[in-house]
């Protein structure tokens, strides 16, 4: 017995020594402990305390614990004390994050969404393996390599379908109108994530470009799309950045370059460490001229999209319309860690050419607010806090290159505010339960020959949809359906068109009921130059001030 105790003591002593060696290495490499520095000495003491706590929990807890999980949780707990944008990645998370920003991956080429228990194909991407193999919109994926994905999350399903280019994957699908399940053996290829999914000339001669995010392909995609639009002879351009979460800084700078030319300051950063204080100028001898640009933003436009919108505003190269952007103006840097882990750390804040900081501190407070996590704060309270923050930001006045007033301290404030019309409760239910998508898939099975690009849903089609909605458990009064009849018709038409002719044609029809876009187009009808638009924006601001 005594021998066993001595053996255990030696093991515990060895483990303790190893632990202190690790801490010593960490301190030497990363903290650079200076005994005369009280802060460094305190860090050393706290690391000792952490080591003791970890050792005791591991040795004495009632059940066996996974040390990796304990340390991961400890790191995440530490980062909970800073801003919500500083984040610790497991190897899988770090790899996925890196893939998303690179803008390409090995996959099949399908846009998917979870509809009920099934992962459903929203649209195959043209030119990809899935498209060539004949995967259709509305196909329900039941198995991947023989393993069921029914009830599995979208992220998990994506991870099963992605893989090394050149490898095979077996997809089993359930297709509406086909009794037997279908199997497709598909060879994965490099799939580029298109940051600009929609770009076309509208009927009134205005070009429209939707930028979904700023990834590694955005600048090259934009140049290609702008060349096409300019060849078609556009008389103006709308760049839609609504719900664009941002992405790569260099891509924001390079896309701004297309409109302001070479050697212009776009953004600068300020941080605690000297190396984080940097200026970013455009570097390409390129500039697009000859037509006015309007940038459309909303509260979901963040980070790189705010830099783009604010920079065109600062250089007087674009009119910004819509709603005040999110206000994510902090700089994060990725640091690879051992064993494939990683950490994203906020190192500085963004300031655009006029000198204004994009970052809205209120967002960080809300994201960290326990009341928000627990649902203990009302929408009214949040809206009141946001309005107060926006009002304060208007006290910080800056000036564009031509001397126009702009505001700083919390997102990009548009030159002209345009509200978006809200969905009714019935409209929300119809979308939430995928009524339009599911009905249009069934509709096309019986009516595909009658659907052309000029197709418009009839009253009989709408009645059929409403009956389908009732069968799916959506309760509504006829008067409520009548009040949104135009919207229902548009949604149904766009979904049916989209099932047959693709996502771009569907999207064109959706824009017809887009309040913000339609009002933006009215500006082009009234004014043909940016100077005229700026004057109109100033008049609008003055009228608003007088009303207040």
User: Residues 184, 118: one domain?
Assistant: yes
Active site residue 303: yes
User: Residues 182, 259: one domain?
Assistant: no
Q: What is the CATH number of the domain that holds 136?
A: 2.30.42.10
On whether residue 543 sits in a domain, the answer given is no
- Residues 148-195: pLDDT tens digits? 999 888 778 888 898 888 899 999 999 877 788 999 899 998 877 788
- Residues 372-388: pLDDT tens digits? 555 666 667 777 777 77
Q: What is the pLDDT of residue 422?
A: 80
Residue 35 has pLDDT above 60, yes or no: no
* Range(s) of the domain holding residue 11: 2-65
User: Residues 461, 348: one domain?
Assistant: no
Tell me whether residue 211 is exposed, middle or buried, using C-beta atoms within 10 angstroms of its C-beta: 0 to 12, 13 to 18, 19 or more: buried
User: Residues 151, 273: one domain?
Assistant: no
Residue 18 has pLDDT above 50, yes or no: no
Exactly one of 264, 328, 489, 508 is catalytic; which is it?
328
Residue 474 has pLDDT above 80, yes or no: yes
- List all residues 6 or more positions away from 32 whose beta carbon is below 8 Å from its beta carbon: 40
Q: What is the pLDDT of residue 85?
A: 79
Phi then psi dihedrals of residue 354, to 5 deg: -70, -15
Q: What is the CATH number of the domain that holds 296?
A: 3.90.226.10
Residue 247 has pLDDT above 60, yes or no: yes
Phi then psi dihedrals of residue 213, to 5 deg: -160, 165
Phi then psi dihedrals of residue 30, to 5 deg: -115, -35
What three-state secondary structure class fits 333? strand
pLDDT winner (highest mean) among 92-96, 319-323, 471-475: 319-323
Strand-pair category, 265-271 with 278-281: antiparallel
User: Residues 398, 288: one domain?
Assistant: yes
Closest CA to 418 of 327, 324, 334: 324
**Token reading at 271:** 């941080």
User: Residues 220, 340: one domain?
Assistant: yes
**Token reading at 106:** 């090995």
Phi then psi dihedrals of residue 484, to 5 deg: -120, 30
Weakest mean pLDDT among 45-54, 235-244, 253-262, 267-276: 45-54
Confidence of residue 13 (pLDDT cuts 50, 70, 90): very low
Closest CA to 516 of 308, 297, 311: 297
User: Residues 130, 249: one domain?
Assistant: no
Over residues 317-321, the mean pLDDT reads 98
Over residues 470-478, the mean pLDDT reads 92
Q: How far apart are CA 113 and CA 376, in angstroms?
A: 30
Which residue(s) pair with 192 in the sheet? 104
Over residues 56-60, the mean pLDDT reads 89
Q: What is the pLDDT of residue 6?
A: 47
pLDDT winner (highest mean) among 17-26, 97-106, 459-468: 459-468
User: Residues 212, 329: one domain?
Assistant: yes
Over residues 322-347, the mean pLDDT reads 88
Active site residue 220: no
User: Residues 334, 361: one domain?
Assistant: yes
Q: Give the DSSP per-residue string, 67-117.
A: HHHHHHHHHHHHHTTS-TT-EEE-HHHHHHHHHHHHTEEEE--EEEEEETT
Weakest mean pLDDT among 27-31, 324-328, 464-468: 27-31
On whether residue 548 sits in a domain, the answer given is no
Which of 417, 441, 458 is the endpoint of a domain?
417
Residue 14 has pLDDT above 90, yes or no: no
Q: What is the pLDDT of residue 100?
A: 60
Q: What is the pLDDT of residue 372?
A: 56
On whether residue 322 sits in a domain, the answer given is yes
**Token reading at 316:** 């007087």
Q: How far apart are CA 77 and CA 66, in angstroms?
A: 17
Residue 33 has pLDDT above 50, yes or no: no
Over residues 119-146, the mean pLDDT reads 83
Q: How far apart are CA 403 and CA 284, in angstroms?
A: 26
Q: What's the total number of domains in the chain?
A: 4
On whether residue 339 sits in a domain, the answer given is yes
Q: What is the pLDDT of residue 432?
A: 75
**Token reading at 15:** 């483990």
On whether residue 293 sits in a domain, the answer given is yes
Which of 192, 222, 237 is the endpoint of a domain?
192
On whether residue 279 sits in a domain, the answer given is yes
Residue 252 has pLDDT above 80, yes or no: yes
Which of 382, 417, 452 is the endpoint of a domain?
417
Active site residue 142: no
User: Residues 263, 342: one domain?
Assistant: yes
User: Residues 389, 463: one domain?
Assistant: no
On whether residue 267 sits in a domain, the answer given is yes
The single residue listed with the structure tokens 């070009």 is 207
On whether residue 395 sits in a domain, the answer given is yes
Exactly one of 303, 330, 393, 440 is catalytic; which is it?
303
0.85 exceeded by pTM = no
Over residues 478-500, the mean pLDDT reads 93
User: Residues 330, 412: one domain?
Assistant: yes
């Amino acid at each position: 017995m005594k021998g066993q105790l001595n053996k255990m003591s030696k093991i515990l002593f060895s483990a303790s020594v190893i632990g202190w060696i690790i801490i010593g290495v960490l301190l030497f490499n990363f903290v650079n402990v200076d005994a005369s520095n009280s802060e460094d000495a305190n860090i050393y003491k706290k690391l000792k305390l952490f080591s003791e706590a970890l050792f005791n929990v591991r040795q004495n807890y009632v059940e066996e614990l996974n040390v990796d999980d304990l340390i991961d949780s400890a790191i995440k707990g530490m980062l909970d004390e800073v801003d919500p944008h500083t984040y610790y990645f497991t190897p899988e998370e770090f790899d996925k994050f890196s893939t998303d920003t690179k803008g390409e991956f090995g996959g099949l080429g399908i846009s998917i969404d979870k509809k009920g228990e099934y992962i459903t194909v929203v649209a195959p991407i043209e030119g990809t393996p899935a498209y060539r193999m004949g995967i259709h919109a509305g196909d329900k994926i039941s198995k991947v390599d023989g393993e069921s994905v029914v009830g599995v999350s979208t992220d998990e399903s994506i991870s099963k379908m992605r893989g090394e280019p050149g490898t095979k994957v077996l997809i089993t699908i359930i297709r509406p109108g086909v009794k037997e399940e279908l199997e497709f053996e598909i060879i994965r290829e490099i799939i580029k994530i298109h940051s600009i999914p929609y770009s076309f000339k509208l009927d009134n001669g205005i070009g429209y470009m939707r930028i979904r995010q700023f990834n590694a392909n955005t600048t090259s995609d934009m140049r290609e799309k702008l060349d096409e639009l300019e060849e078609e002879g556009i008389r103006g351009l709308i760049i839609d950045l609504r719900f664009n979460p941002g992405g790569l800084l260099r891509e924001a700078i390079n896309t701004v370059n297309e409109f302001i030319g070479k050697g212009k300051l776009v953004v600068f950063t300020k941080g605690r460490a000297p190396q984080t204080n940097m200026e970013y100028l455009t570097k390409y001898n390129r500039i697009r001229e000859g037509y006015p640009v309007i940038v459309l933003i909303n509260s979901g436009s963040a980070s790189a999209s705010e830099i783009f919108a604010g920079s065109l505003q600062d250089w007087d190269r674009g009119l910004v319309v819509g709603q005040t952007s999110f206000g994510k103006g902090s700089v994060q840097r990725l640091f690879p860690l051992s064993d494939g882990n990683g950490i994203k750390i906020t190192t500085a804040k963004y300031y655009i050419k006029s000198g204004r900081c994009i970052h809205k501190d209120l967002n960080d407070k809300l994201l960290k607010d326990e009341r928000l996590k627990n649902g203990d704060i009302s929408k009214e309270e949040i809206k009141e806090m946001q309005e107060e923050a926006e009002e304060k930001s208007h006290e910080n006045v800056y000036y564009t290159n031509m001397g126009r007033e702009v505001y700083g301290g919390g997102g990009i404030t548009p030159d002209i505010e345009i509200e978006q019309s809200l969905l009714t409760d019935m409209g929300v239910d119809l979308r939430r339960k995928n009524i339009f998508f599911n009905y249009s898939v069934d509709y096309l099975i019986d009516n595909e020959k009658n659907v052309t690009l000029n197709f418009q849903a009839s009253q009989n089609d709408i009645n059929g949809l409403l009956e389908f909605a009732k069968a799916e458990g959506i309760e509504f009064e006829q008067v409520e359906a009548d009040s949104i009849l135009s919207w229902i018709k548009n949604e149904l038409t766009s979904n049916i068109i989209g099932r047959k002719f693709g996502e771009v044609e569907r999207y064109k029809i959706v824009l017809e009921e887009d309040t913000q876009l339609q009002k933006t187009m009215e500006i082009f009808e009234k004014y043909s130059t940016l100077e005229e638009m700026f004057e109109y924006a100033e008049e609008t601001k003055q009228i608003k001030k007088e009303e207040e």
